[in-house]
């Protein structure tokens, strides 16, 4: 992919990088909230019960894992879209 990025002019390369950085920042923000904020508020979350389990436990055991897998697929889809938009998509 490095060869394809060299074909971009400087402005397009900056735009592509800005899209990549913004998307990564969003993903990392969501990751931080799910990992640390939910753990910090676990006692308050445990007052909410989902399917018989306290929400703090549910977020640690199941919810966070589901969110992380969704983030992976969302990131891949968005980066594929950005790659196509800037003409640097990989050959299939």
Question: If we measure between CA atoms, which residue out of 38, 36, 26 comes closest to residue 70?
Answer: 26
* C-alpha span between 38 and 36 (Å, rounded): 6
Kindly tell me if the per-residue pLDDT of 78 is higher than 90. Answer: yes
- Residue of 70, 76, 60 whose CA lies nearest to 24: 76
Place of tokens 């019960």: 49
Domain ranges of the chain: 9-84
What predicted TM-score, i.e. pTM, was given to this entire model?
0.74
Cα–Cα dist 30/52, whole Å: 26
pLDDT score recorded for residue 5? 63
* Residue count of the chain: 92
Is the pLDDT assigned to residue 4 strictly greater than 60? no
pLDDT tens digits, 16-63: 999 999 999 999 999 999 888 878 888 888 898 888 888 888 777 788
């Amino acid at each position: 992919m490095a060869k394809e990025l060299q074909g971009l002019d400087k402005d397009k390369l900056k735009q592509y990088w800005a899209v990549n950085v913004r998307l990564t920042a969003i993903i990392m923000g969501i990751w931080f909230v799910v990992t640390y904020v939910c753990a910090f508020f676990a006692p308050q979350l445990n007052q909410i019960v989902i399917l018989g389990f306290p929400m703090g436990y549910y977020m640690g055991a199941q919810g966070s894992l589901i969110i992380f897998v969704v983030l992976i697929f969302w990131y891949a889809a968005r980066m594929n879209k950005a790659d196509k938009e800037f003409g640097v998509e990989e050959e299939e």
